């Protein structure tokens, strides 16, 4: 269960995007290295220390996103999905962004997820 600490406007989310991009890059890089060790771990002490270090880094990156007020939603480190709590048309939703996208243009209902994303209505671009 996510505890929403902040609600974003589209403009707010866009302002955080440069920092979010860097953090998600670090999450993807660290997550993929963790996946490599999970698949190829021979159990050496050196590997174990590296995995512990990677887990610590991963946790700090996730905490950075949560301090911004957004949430990482990609459990297999393949697409770098991030949700920003927002309100659109009076309804609580998540503005969503995917690593590699140059802008934030989608949102989805809280209970639907990325597969149910829709384009952010034009009036939200005009007001931001």
Q: For the full predicted model, state whether its pTM sits above 0.85.
A: yes
DSSP codes joined into one string, 44-103: -HHHHHHHHHHHHHHHHHHHHHHHHT-EE--TTSSS-EEEEEEEETTEEEEEEEETT-SS
Show the tokens assigned to 1. 């269960």
Positions in the chain whose pLDDT score sits under 50 = 128
d(CA 38, CA 73): 20
- Quote the pLDDT of residue 81: 96
- Quote the pLDDT of residue 4: 63
Query: Tens of pLDDT along 52-78?
Result: 999 999 999 999 999 999 999 988 888
């Amino acid at each position: 269960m996510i505890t929403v600490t902040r609600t974003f406007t589209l403009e707010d989310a866009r302002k955080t995007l440069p920092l979010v991009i860097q953090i998600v890059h670090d999450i993807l890089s660290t997550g993929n290295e963790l996946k490599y060790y999970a698949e190829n771990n021979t159990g050496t002490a050196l590997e174990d220390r590296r995995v512990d270090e990677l887990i610590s880094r991963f946790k700090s990156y996730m905490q950075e996103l949560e301090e911004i007020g957004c949430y990482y939603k990609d459990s297999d480190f393949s697409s770098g999905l991030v949700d920003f709590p927002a309100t659109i048309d009076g309804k609580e939703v998540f503005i969503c962004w995917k690593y590699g996208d140059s802008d934030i243009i989608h949102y989805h209902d809280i209970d639907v997820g990325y597969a149910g994303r829709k384009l952010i209505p034009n009036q939200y671009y005009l007001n931001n």
